[in-house]
Structure 1
Amino acid sequence: MLGRTANDLFWLSRYIERAENMARLIEAGYRIALLPRVGGDDGKQEWASTLESAGCAAQYNAKYGEIDTRNVVDFLLFDISNPSSIHACLATARRNARAQRTGLTREMWESLNGSWLEFQSIRPDTLRPDALPRILDWIKERSAAYRGALLNTILRNDTYYFSQLGTFLERADNTARILDVKYYVLLPSTNMIGSGVDNAQWESILRSVSAHRSYRWVYKDSYRSWRIADYLILNRAMPRSLSACYGEIDAALDGLSALYGEQKPCLDTAKSTLSLLKKGDIDTIFQSGLHEFLLEFIARNNRVGQEISEAYHFNS
């Protein structure tokens, strides 16, 4: 496969996943902002943490300065100048899909193109505040529809493997950032750990990764930070956990190695990351520093992405 084709397929899936993740982040910020305020706080901290988690804080501050709910939502949802906004993600994904139209199945193309056309019909200036949850649910549904079309119709060849890599590298990055920002940015003080506000925030974070019910099934207990961290980092059964994501990344890179008859350095980095997660112990992670662990993971994840780009000549 040509490097340009591999690049387009990789980023097509990555941007579809990013659009869904952005919808999940906005939903989490929206839910948390509705919680009872602490010390007269007006919800700005929650939206600031959402921007931080999305990696958009510097861009937003340069454009708006002050935190305002409507501006944050518009920036993350509709602002085409923000490359991580849902609008920009869908536009880039569709552009990549058009460039590789012959490599996609009809179901994949129609799902993505239909989503783009419907999103284009939304008028941000007439959007009512109570319409936001419905739009975010729609975005998650359209992402799931595209993933379903891909998984149910595409051959298990290099098109599939590069699509899987884009999806799960993006998902792993998002899960790590959500967990890191909640633990170190969102909670006003350590004195509030275990409080009603802390538990409500954790519930919203779990909802943002569709894990609030499954967490109860697994642990049959109230929300506890170390168990939630264990669930989102080490539990392979949780499909958005770091461990589950790297199981998929490892499988995709193994598939490419078998298909092309050559093992690339990115596979070694991915396998070492998966091994780290398999052997991981949440008590040890907390003792050595959850924040430090997550920063190291995000750096590793970025390194895997860069090594994949170099190994398969994305820029050629």
Structure 2
Amino acid sequence: MLSRTADHLFWMARYIERAENTARLMDVVLKELLLPQTDENAMRSQRSVLAISELSEIFAARYDAVTAENVLRFMVADPGNPSSILSSLRSARENARAVRGALTTESWETINHTWLEFNRQLDEGMLDIDPDSVFESVKLRSHLWRGVTLGTALKDEAFYFTQLGIFLERADNTARILDVRFADGAPGARVPASMQLGDFYYWTSLLSSVSGLEIYRQVYRDVLMPERVVELLILNPSMPRSLLASLDRVCENLARLSTATSRDCERYAGKLRAELLYGEIRPILARGLHEYLTEFLGRIAVLGNKISATFLLPLTA
């Protein structure tokens, strides 16, 4: 397959997954605002969204103050934010259109309709009236596209590059969603040993945002504990959005795309997966969750660069 075609497919999938996960992230943040908390804690939550998304500088150049309304607009509907849901869906559609011939009709129509439907909701003011409905729509359309892809696409290199993009982006974004409470905190911030009422609702909403509340109950069959939530989202291979499950699929698709020059890339991904596979939650929490997730995100970025250098078009500065 031509590197240019593979590049478009890879990034098409990443942008669709990014749009969905941004919707999930903002869902957590908005629900947290409903909990009893100080103004400073509410402000810290908004700053954390920008910090973990590496968008603080872009936000500061476009907005005068960090408020819930500004952050919501910036992360969802601001065309000047390259990682907003609007920008992500636009980029996904542009990449899909560039390789229209490599997609099934159903896959292209799903992406195109998702873009049109999202813009219709923005035009009707739904982001101000009912942001939850906007987030749910983005998530459902992303689910639909993945299902259509699995049900209609030939299982060839085009399919494997698409899957690779999905799961690399998912690993990155699950780590960011998990880190949102700690990204703006003091170094060494750890999951609390016990929970107050607000903590319970926060961890419940976080699990719900990654479609993990029912899974948590099936796995642990016990009261909700932060340590177990973190364990589920990092180390459980059966949790579809966990870091380990995402790396399992990344390595699986890299193996199917293996070439004579991809050994270094496969080795790096395999090492990262092995550390998750044989990892334990206590050393992670003892080290500090934010520090662990920050390092993980850095290594995911390195892996993405290695994939680009091995299979795709060179990344531009």
Question: Shared fold by TM > 0.5?
Answer: yes
2:181 counterpart SS class:
helix
Maintained 8 Å contact 2:190/2:285: no
Counterpart for residue 89 of structure 1? 88
Deviation at 1:56, TM superposition (A): 2.3
Task: Write the deviation string for residues 266-299 of structure 1: whole angstroms up to 9, x where unpaired.
Answer: 1111111111111101112222333222222111
Distance 2:191 2:248 in 1: 34
Distance 1:220 1:54 in 2: 33
Distance 1:166 1:189 in 2: 31
Counterpart for residue 285 of structure 1? 284
2:180 counterpart SS class:
helix
Maintained 8 Å contact 2:121/2:134: no
CA change 1:141–1:164 in 2 (3 A) is same
Distance 1:264 1:47 in 2: 41
RMSD: 2.3
Q: What's the TM-score, normalizing by structure 2?
A: 0.92
Maintained 8 Å contact 1:7/1:315: no
Structure 1: runs of 5+ lacking an equivalent: none
Maintained 8 Å contact 2:175/2:293: yes
CA change 1:45–1:64 in 2 (3 A) is same
Deviation at 1:26, TM superposition (A): 1.1
1:69 aligns to 2:71 (yes or no):
no
1:196 aligns to 2:211 (yes or no):
no
Maintained 8 Å contact 1:105/1:154: yes
Deviation at 1:69, TM superposition (A): 2.3
Counterpart for residue 154 of structure 1? 153
Counterpart for residue 307 of structure 2? 308
Counterpart for residue 18 of structure 2? 18
Deviation at 1:25, TM superposition (A): 0.9
1:31 aligns to 2:31 (yes or no):
yes
Query: Residue type matched to 2:8 in 1?
Result: D
CA change 1:114–1:190 in 2 (3 A) is closer
CA change 1:120–1:255 in 2 (3 A) is same
Distance 1:184 1:90 in 2: 26
Query: Residue type matched to 2:10 in 1?
Result: F
Counterpart for residue 253 of structure 2? 252
Aligned 1:32-47 pairs, distance under 5 A: 32-38=32-38, 40-41=39-40, 43-47=42-46
Distance 2:313 2:195 in 1: 46
Distance 2:175 2:62 in 1: 26
State, as a whole percentage, how many aligned pairs show the same letter. Answer: 39
Query: Residue type matched to 2:12 in 1?
Result: L
Structure 2: runs of 5+ lacking an equivalent: none
Which 4+ stretches in 1 moved above 6 angstroms?
A: 186-192
Maintained 8 Å contact 1:74/1:124: no
CA change 1:296–1:196 in 2 (3 A) is same
Distance 1:4 1:106 in 2: 20
CA change 1:43–1:128 in 2 (3 A) is same
Range that drifts further, 45-54 or 26-35? 45-54
Counterpart for residue 141 of structure 2? 142
Deviation at 1:255, TM superposition (A): 0.5
Aligned 1:107-122 pairs, distance under 5 A: 107-122=106-121
Deviation at 1:222, TM superposition (A): 2.3
- The count of aligned residue pairs is 313
CA change 1:299–1:281 in 2 (3 A) is same
Query: Residue type matched to 1:229 in 2?
Result: V
Counterpart for residue 6 of structure 1? 6
